[in-house]
Amino acid sequence: MCLVFFSDKSRSAKGTGGQAVQDEQLVDLLYCGLGDQEAWNEFLGQLAKRLDAPWAAVLAIHASPCRHVFNFKFGIPPEAAYLYEQHYGSIDPWLEAYLKRNTKDWTGTGSSLCAASEFERTEFYTDFFRSYDVYHGCGTIVEGEGGSLTTLGALRQKSQPDFEQQHVELFKQLAPHLTRALKLHGKIVDLKDVATAAGNVLDTLDVGLVGLNGQGRVCFVNRLAEGILRAETVLRLHQGKISAHTAAGTSAWDRLWKHAIAPRFNPRHRSSIALSHGTESLHVTMVPFRGNDPLFPGRVRVLATITDPKADPKSRDQLLIALFGLTPAEARVAMLLVSGLGPREISQQTETTQNTVRFQLKVIYRKTGVSRQSQLVRLVSMLPGQFPDGDAGTSSSGKKLRFQALQHLNTRLIGQKSSLIKSLDQHSIVRK
């Protein structure tokens, strides 16, 4: 549940164009707070000012287990919020009176739930509210899923007049917008967390990752790619596009991008190049990124990986986790197998049984799309970040496995982008 406390000072909200405009601006500001803690606080501050209330807050009340948590607050002393969350929320007489009514949703004043004479005799008032000079309340309560409640309300000091019907009407007006905004806020925060987690995973890779749009301009880079481009030893970024130090190198980069963006991309054709300048060299691979979203003109169309053949990959197990969804334990087993150990030695290293190792290997094979140890070894050796050498890099099977690894990364990124777009599209705000 969520509770927002406000109050109003003055003229009648009905019949005054000025207040009608203010109320409309409050609704707009409410939606501006989606996914933004500071914007919610600004909304509460403007709301408190509009209603002449010393306190404003969003309080979440969860049914099982029963918890009272201030999600957003304005003007409430930290110790008061703590006391309410820890104890006084559980004996809130207004909330208790609402629950006894056994009705779905409610809007009104605190005095309509609990008479003033009765309210003044409660522990809640004598030990808590009175010490902060809080007395009058008004709000609306909306029930959510799992017995949770969303309450939009206001608190006034005892020296102020009680709330009037015009304030109750204001809360009725704001209630549906608050409910919708809080749901959207939660979804956007979840999406932000997912996006942050995905970005953190990409930044741990020992391969530079670059997203290019339909014009060849850079849409995003991970941390390693940013470092490579900043160093400008082989490649550099200028006006949103990547180029090499030589005209031949730039032409090779452009040809690779045009091949990857072609409608009929053929992975059998050359999709990798080696670029060099002086004593430095880089290996570049490009594959299509087919997001197919016309709403974003700067969308990613090509995914490029940039690796340094001199670099010693330090986190290929992390790459296995990111590309194929292996667990840390599975990635460790895979790396031990690639290093030449058998199931018996792996079980000793991991302090597990051979049966456990064999089961993990079956899962690893299934997730990586291989059927035997030699294929897994070759797949790991061809992962981005490792410059191919010898027969493994030039054979058709080696190229196929390297391309498979890049396609797995491509697919996972497409899935993340599509989920974000789908969620935002499903929950887009249309307010009449």
pLDDT band at 223 (very low <50, low <70, confident <90, very high): confident
Q: Has residue 121 got a pLDDT over 80?
A: yes
Q: Please count the residues of the chain.
A: 432
| Alpha helices, DSSP H, located in 297-353 | 316-324, 328-338, 343-350
The most confident of the ranges 248-252, 279-283, 332-336, 395-399 is 248-252
Looking at residue 427, its pLDDT comes to 38
Least confident of 266-275, 309-318, 323-332, 371-380: 309-318
pLDDT band at 204 (very low <50, low <70, confident <90, very high): low
For the segment 287-311, the average pLDDT, to the nearest whole number, is 67
| 3-state class (DSSP) for residue 235 | strand
Residue 357: in which H helix or E strand, if any?
A: helix 354-368
Least confident of 115-119, 284-288, 354-358, 388-392: 388-392
Token couple for 430: 């249309």
Percent above pLDDT 90 for the chain? 27
| 3-state class (DSSP) for residue 250 | helix
Looking at residue 424, its pLDDT comes to 38
- Which candidate, 79, 26, 59, 249, places its Cα nearest to that of 139? 59
Looking at residue 266, its pLDDT comes to 64
Looking at residue 312, its pLDDT comes to 59
Token couple for 339: 């290093």
Q: Is the dihedral of CA 198, 200, 206, 211 positive or negative?
A: positive
Q: Has residue 94 got a pLDDT over 80?
A: yes
Find out whether 34 and 60 touch, Cβ atoms under 8 Å. no
Looking at residue 13, its pLDDT comes to 40
Q: Has residue 119 got a pLDDT over 90?
A: yes
Instruction: Centre a 10 Å sphere on the Cβ of residue 363 and count the other Cβ atoms it contains.
Output: 14
| In the block, residue with structure tokens 């905004």 | 181
Report cis status (omega within 30 of 0) of the bond before 384: no
pLDDT in tens, 166-178: 888 888 888 888 8
Q: Has residue 134 got a pLDDT over 70?
A: yes
Q: Has residue 267 got a pLDDT over 70?
A: no
Looking at residue 86, its pLDDT comes to 92
Looking at residue 7, its pLDDT comes to 38
Angle of helix 354-368 relative to helix 343-350, nearest 10 degrees, comes to: 110
β partners of residue 55: 155
The most confident of the ranges 66-75, 191-200, 204-213, 389-398 is 66-75
For the segment 94-123, the average pLDDT, to the nearest whole number, is 92
Pairing of strands 241-244, 235-238: antiparallel
Sorted by sequence, the CB contacts under 8 Å of residue 343 that are 6+ apart come out as 354, 357, 358, 361
pLDDT in tens, 31-73: 876 777 788 888 888 888 888 889 988 888 887 677 888 878 8
pLDDT band at 103 (very low <50, low <70, confident <90, very high): confident
Q: What are phi and psi of 398, to 5 degrees?
A: -65, -45
Pick the more confident residue, 142 or 312: 142
| 3-state class (DSSP) for residue 327 | coil
For the segment 349-377, the average pLDDT, to the nearest whole number, is 89
Instruction: Round to whole Å and give the CA distance between 23 and 420.
Output: 32
Pick the more confident residue, 157 or 294: 157
Find out whether 91 and 107 touch, Cβ atoms under 8 Å. no
Q: Has residue 140 got a pLDDT over 90?
A: no
Instruction: Round to whole Å and give the CA distance between 8 and 38.
Output: 23
The CATH H-level (homologous superfamily) assignment of domain 3-194 is Transcription factor LuxR-like, autoinducer-binding domain (3.30.450.80)
Instruction: Round to whole Å and give the CA distance between 302 and 291.
Output: 10
Instruction: Round to whole Å and give the CA distance between 61 and 68.
Output: 5
Sorted by sequence, the CB contacts under 8 Å of residue 378 that are 6+ apart come out as 392, 397, 398, 401
- Rounded to the nearest integer, the mean pLDDT of the chain is 77
- Global model pTM greater than 0.85: no
pLDDT band at 430 (very low <50, low <70, confident <90, very high): very low
Angle of helix 316-324 relative to helix 396-426, nearest 10 degrees, comes to: 60
Domain ranges for the chain, please list them.
3-194
Pick the more confident residue, 409 or 318: 318
